[in-house]
Amino acid sequence: MRFLENVRSGDEPKAAELKARAAQGDAMSQIILGALYEVGHGEPEDKFEAAKWYRKAADANDPRGQILLGELYVEGTGVVKDATEATKLFYQAAKQRCVYAQVRLAGMYVIDEGIRPNPVEAYKWCNVALVQAKPTDFIRLEGLALWGRRFATINNQVIGLGEFSALKTPLGSVMVTCVGIESNYVNIQVNGEKQERIIKHGDYANPCAEYFKLALELRTTLETNLSSVSIAEAQRRSTLFIRNLDEPGLPESDFLNAKGLATAFFITDDGYAITAYHVVKRNGKVSLRSASGTYPAKVVKSDPENDLALLKVSGRFTALPLQSSSAVRIGASVFTVGFPNPNVQGLHPKLTKGEISSVFGIADDARTFQISVPVQPGNSGGALVNLQGNVIGVIAARLDDLKTLSTIGNLPQNVNYAVKSAQAMSLLTDFEVIKKLKQPSRQERKLEDLAAEVEKASAMVLIQ
């Protein structure tokens, strides 16, 4: 890492001041002090002392401390050699968008450093790193000619002062104008950018470009040995990891290892929620992930016959009113908000809308509606809402395509079902819950306003 090179070159503050700040918990001072002990510059070489100070910074969630301590675990220097611990530390830094850590993780899954080789994981981490890369990152000043007419060599292309050129990079071409050439740097204007860039001799525009290049080379190598299915899986994992960087609350490992995923909706503001029984009946820990975070949930009551379950979590939430389904008529407009196929479609809630196709379900089942609202795996347990914002049903199932094809010879066209709210109300026998229910609304509202409210009241069900 460049950081250790700087320490070796003598770029550090006075020892007494440094130790005082490190002792007070300043992570940067802890890292510098650890580096001084590691390389034996200004302090006696002491790998154990280096590991101690790196650990303090790592425990404070500083990615530089996590990386440096991780490298000691890889080497077994100052700590007991432990590739698993190193991987955990690199992962913590990778979650903070540290490109070096992301590329380092890719390497850990390729090179035999104590972790079982896993080319799919390696490909995933290459992808994660390269998502942050831009063509302009790879601009590099390689040479200067200062006599007579001034020239600069940038990305193997000679460009004169005031000239416009298309610079080739691993991620495509970049249009630039050379607006200044000095003894050890150039000023360039990238097409589309307002400010000029200063590129020093021998440097990339982005110091991470070296790691981006490593990721590109490694990914290209991996592609020759991976099947299209394995590459698709790696891409799925990287997409999920990146989404979770922007959507904290659902750890990637929890999502990948989930036994079941569905939708629930809150019916009281203190955390009672309804979902589908067929999801929570699986053995495992139940959690609800809402916009405010992920919460452990308890199954308070279940109704297997009607495929309903009542859950409880701690906290304050937006709740939806339940309305009797007895007056619902065929043709009524309805919609749902849920989490269909989250590993493909993403973690944000999705809205679909349609009509009541029939007030009877499969084989004229009076307990359910047939609806034209499109649903997918993951929608189960979501609220079926009318244009007054009242819940009149709970999304239950879609007609099985293959079974229907084998039975009648045709594929069903958007045939889905919802359990009527009357069945959900029968689940609520506790007066303490009933008295907390919201009163139904009689006023129709705009769909976008209703959707925002239902989105807040909806949560992803996660079974681990």
Hey, what are 97's tokens?
Answer: 């968008």
pLDDT > 60? residue 249: no
What average pLDDT does range 143-170 have in this prediction?
86
Question: What CA–CA distance (Å, rounded) separates 339 from 375?
Answer: 10
pLDDT > 60? residue 200: yes
Spatial contact of 179 and 188, defined as CB atoms under 8 Å apart: yes
CA dihedral 230, 375, 335, 378 (to 10 degrees): -60
Residue 176 bridge partners (DSSP)? 165, 190
Question: What CA–CA distance (Å, rounded) separates 163 from 314?
Answer: 64
User: DSSP character for 71?
Assistant: H
Residue 115 pLDDT level (bands cut at 50, 70, 90): confident
Hey, what are 209's tokens?
Answer: 């470009």
User: Which helix (H) or strand (E) is 268 found in, with range?
Assistant: none
The pLDDT of residue 254: 56
CATH fold of the domain at 251-464: Thrombin, subunit H (2.40.10)
Within 10 A of 2 (CB to CB), how many other CB atoms are there?
9
Question: pLDDT per residue over 335-351, tens digit each?
Answer: 999 988 776 676 778 99
Sign of the Cα torsion 304, 310, 313, 314 reads: negative
Write down the residue that tokens 């790696």 correspond to. Answer: 234
Q: What is the mean pLDDT of the chain?
A: 86
Residue 148 pLDDT level (bands cut at 50, 70, 90): low
Q: What percentage of the chain exceeds 90 in pLDDT?
A: 58
Q: Which of 29-33, 40-44, 217-221, 360-364 has the lowest mean pLDDT?
A: 40-44
DSSP track, 123-165: HHHHHHHHTT--GGGG-BEEEEE-SSS-EEEETTEEEETT-EE
Sign of the Cα torsion 310, 374, 251, 64 reads: negative
The pLDDT of residue 244: 72
What average pLDDT does range 264-269 have in this prediction?
95
Domain boundaries, the chain: 2-96, 135-206, 251-464
pLDDT > 50? residue 9: no
What average pLDDT does range 39-63 have in this prediction?
90
Backbone angles phi, psi at 220, to 5 degrees: -60, -40
Q: Which one-letter amino acid corresponds to residue 157?
A: Q
Hey, what are 71's tokens?
Answer: 């490298």
Spatial contact of 178 and 191, defined as CB atoms under 8 Å apart: no
User: DSSP character for 58?
Assistant: H
Spatial contact of 427 and 301, defined as CB atoms under 8 Å apart: yes
pLDDT: which is higher, 45 or 412: 45
Q: Which CATH architecture has domain 2-96?
A: Alpha Horseshoe (1.25)
The pLDDT of residue 408: 43
pLDDT > 50? residue 82: yes
Residue 94 bridge partners (DSSP)? none
What average pLDDT does range 202-226 have in this prediction?
92
What average pLDDT does range 158-170 have in this prediction?
91
pLDDT > 60? residue 90: yes
pLDDT: which is higher, 415 or 410: 415
DSSP track, 294-351: EEE-EEEEEEGGGTEEEEE-SS------B--STT--TT-EEEEEE--SHHHH-SS-EE
Hey, what are 380's tokens?
Answer: 């189960």
Helices (H), 339-446: 342-345, 401-408, 421-426, 431-434
Residue 130 pLDDT level (bands cut at 50, 70, 90): very high
What average pLDDT does range 87-94 have in this prediction?
93
Spatial contact of 421 and 325, defined as CB atoms under 8 Å apart: yes
What average pLDDT does range 117-129 have in this prediction?
93
Residue 8 pLDDT level (bands cut at 50, 70, 90): very low
User: Which helix (H) or strand (E) is 292 found in, with range?
Assistant: none
Question: pLDDT per residue over 359-378, tens digit each?
Answer: 998 888 899 999 999 888 88
Q: Which of 38-42, 284-288, 456-460 has the lowest mean pLDDT?
A: 38-42
Question: pLDDT per residue over 372-404, tens digit each?
Answer: 998 888 899 999 999 999 999 999 865 544 343
Q: Is the pTM of this model over 0.75?
A: no
Residue 268 pLDDT level (bands cut at 50, 70, 90): very high
Radius of gyration of the chain (CA): 29
Q: Which of 51-60, 83-92, 139-148 has the lowest mean pLDDT?
A: 139-148
pLDDT: which is higher, 135 or 146: 135
